[in-house]
Each structure stands twice: as C-alpha cells, then as structure tokens.
Chains A and B, each alone.
Chain A
Amino acid sequence: MRRAGRLLARRLFGALPVLGLVAIGGFLLLEAAPGDAVDAYLAGIGGGDAAQVAALRAEWGLDGGPLPRLAAYLGALLRLDLGWSTAFERPVLAVVLERLPNTLLLMGMATLLALSLGSLLGIVCGARPGSPRDRALSLAAIAIYAMPGFWLGLVLIVGFSVRLRWLPSGGIETVASGLAGWDRAADIARHLVLPVASLGLVYMALYLRLMRDGMAELWRQDFVRAARARGMAGPRLVLRHVARNALLPVVTMLGLQSAAMLGGSVVIESVFAIPGLGRLAAEAVARRDTPLLLGVMLLSAVVVILVNLAVDLAYALLDPRVGSGTGG
C-alpha cells in the first residue's frame, strides 16, 4: 500500500509539467483564433462602450504583451476559471462539467465491453493458436478493427432501431419520461447499448488481437514449457500461466487508448445525440467557440492522466513480479 501511495504521488507530480504544456498549447490556440475573451464576452451580453472594453481588458490582464497575457491565462486556469463560452453564454467550466458524466459513463461502459469481451475471445483464440476457431475470430477482429465507429453506429441503428425496433436510436434517456430510480437506470442502459457497442467493439478487436498474439508468443516461453513438463495442462495452464501474463500488454494499451477513445466519443456522441463532452467539442467547433473547445481539451487531458494513473496502479497489482503472484 505504501508503494502504491508513493507511485500515486510521483505520477501526479510528473503530470504537472504535461498539464502546463497542454495549457500553453491552448493559449497559443486562443491567440491564433480571431478575437479575445473580452470580444466574446461583449458579443454575449450585447456590446459595450470603449471605456468599458478597456477596463475589462485591464481587469482580465489582456492589455499587455503575449507574456503577461499568458500569465493571466495560466493564473485564471489555476483558479479553475476556464473562460466564457460564447455559444452557451455561461462559464466554460460549468458547461463542460455538466457534460462530463455522460461521456465518462459511455467511455467506462465501452472500456468494460472491450476489455471483457476482447480478453475473453482473445483467450479462446490464444488457447490454441492456428486452430480454425482462432483463424475465424482473428479475421473477424481484423475486419471490425477496420470499421469507422460512426459507420458501425449507423449500421447498428439501421439493424436494431429501424428494422427490428428493439433499441432507441439516439439520446441518453427518454425525454420527460418521469422515470426514477431503477426504471430510469434501465432506460439509460437501453439507450446506451448501441453507442457503447459502436465505441467499444473497435477496441474489443484490438484487445483480442493483443491478447491472442501475446498468448501465442508465451506458449514458446521456458516457464510455460516447464509448467507443461510438470504435468500442468488444461484451463489451469491456459489461464494462470499464459493468459495472466498476456493480460499485461492489454492493460497497458487500455491506458494508451483512453485518449483515442475520448476522441472517438466526439463522433459517436454526435451520431447518437448524446449530450456529452465529445458532442460538445463538435458543437464548439461548429459555433466557433474556441474557449469552450479548449475547456473540453483541458478536461480531456485531466481525464486521460487520471485513467493512466489508475492503469499504473492496476498494473502494479496484476504484474506477478510486483505482487505475490505465482506465475513468472
């Protein structure tokens, strides 16, 4: 536990310069976009006279050169002031935090689907590499991995919403349904089936391949041969010696892919009309709201850092060389 705590502290500290660089990148983007925060704010409240504009610029630290402006921007970020959204006419922080839970739910479910189904089918393939079952599943995985998520989403809508009428084609829950408690949770779950599948199946295919290739490699390793020589066979050998070690690269990939998955949620949320962070990014671009887009980017960076932190901790628990494990 002490070691986990130290790891946590070191990683959090190491993330600070990265976050700082992301913020500086965001500042450069703001500088490149036409107009500044005062222009945006005045456009929102319907304009103001020259004296008022100058006073606002001085107050927000926007009247100096690039360096004082950068300092003012970073200072504001430290106070959790992400600026003003012109599209929503509200503070950026309030808008992005409101949309965050839906995206986290979508991402969490998609990760769960990808990880469980991907490693399960990967074990089925990797238990006997080269078998007909392995070839068929691997081929299917390659095909799924080549699919754009948004297109898969549309195909699923055509199949399950339009033709079969089993599942809703958009939204996060039934509007004004008056549902509460478990009924509402079930309603949200029904709405999430198709978007989660569209986002998660691509990663399922990726994890399947990783798991399968890892296991195929591990069968040739000495410790597996030794276990076999000791008479170990069947599920015990496959699961405890081979699959457990093949799971490590999958877990590593999980962290690396969290940023890509957030990016994928931009399109998936747009397809399924889910009011989340991703669709907010698309709206921000369409409505030329740079501060809002930056807010989404910064919050995404924080989410990615936290997910990777969680993955590091999980890794420490899983790796037989770190834990009290039996493998290795």
Chain B
Amino acid sequence: MKDITINSNQFLLKSVAEELRLPLVQISRLAELSRSSYSDSSDEMKTIESSADLALQLLESYILGVELGDKQKEIELSPITIGAVMNDVAHQVYRIANQNNCDIELLIKTSKPIMGNYEAIKMAYLNIAHSIILANSSIGNTKRKSVIFAVYGRGPKNMAGVYGNDIQINKTSWEKSMSIFYKTRQKIPEFSSINASGFFVASSILDSMSLSLNPSKYKGRKGLVAGFPLSQQLSLI
C-alpha cells in the first residue's frame, strides 16, 4: 500500500465533499418522492434523481480515495472474486445505461479469488462504468450503444475492464491526461471534463491499493482495465 498522509488541502476538500452529500441526498430523495407521487413528471424526475446519484457517487468515491490514501487508516482485505464485483457494478449501472440507450454485457471468464476490498473496488468500477457509459452515449450518432464488463485471466492476474463500442482512448492520450489532469479543464480530450473525473477518482482508489488503471482493447473495443494479482494462499484452498 502507498504511504501517503492526508494534507490540509485534501482534508479541507474532503470536508467540503462530506458537506455536499446532504444537498445531493435531498435532491435525489425529493425526485424519488415526486416520481412516486406524480407519474406525469416521472421521466424528468428520474433524470434529476440519476444526476444527483451520480454526483453523490463521485463524491463518495473521492472521499474513499482520500481515506484509502491515508497511511493512518488500514484497508481491510478479504477473499473476493472480481467477477462478483463486476456483476454487482453491472446491475447497479443498469438504469443509467438504459437511460443512455446503452446495452450492458457481462463476460466473466475466470472466478479465481483475490484478496481485496470489495467496496473500494466496486466504487472504483462504478465510476469507470458510469464515465464510459456516459462518454459512449454522448458521442454523436443515435445508434444503440453497448458496454462490456469483462473479467479474464492473464498470467498471475485477474483482469477487470470496462469497454465501450464508441470509446476512443489509447495509451498515449491516457498517459498525457494523467500527467496534466491537475492543470487543465478538459482532462481527457475524448471525454467531457465531467465524465473524466470518474476515471481519476477510480484511478486514485485503485492506486491506493497499488493497482493501476490502464487503457486496453478487448474484443475490438477500447476501455480501461486493471490487473488484480491472484493470491497464492487462496489458490491453495
């Protein structure tokens, strides 16, 4: 694990993020209440609710990223399968995908266990998935889009990636984006600035567990993947 201490700026931002949770919960629940009370505004309310939920999730992930990066806090690890995490994520993003005219495919090719923090990994992939779904659907044409959640083995690792059929991201643009993301408004040229934040938050969560997020290709689609080392002990069980 990385040895980082929260500095005062991060602590301040974390406090702001924590304060922002309440208004977002208010918006989300108010939209849900209206949706359940007045069916004629159901679609608009669904959109408001989803937007608030997305913002809330981004904040939660940011807070988690800061907490995981704090050397004073220990990350609890337990035996998990990445397939279970991705299955959970795929179900959770289903509504957003549906609203954005996007199908979801789940391809789990391995179920070897790893040691990890289920909630943290899930949070990271929720952000990646949302950002890819939104980016995938915001690119031009109106044809039906799809996103693949893939888990497969590669050597001593389980790979877990999210890939879109209309995503244009490659190693060069990803590396450039990672190097300039503190300094520029539109962090990844292929995505809007709002969508891209999810990648950076996810990257910081994975980074705190010594995992790295990288662009990759799968079944002709582009997306982002991370490799999870298999546990030697667990493989003996």
**Do A and B originate from a single complex?**
no
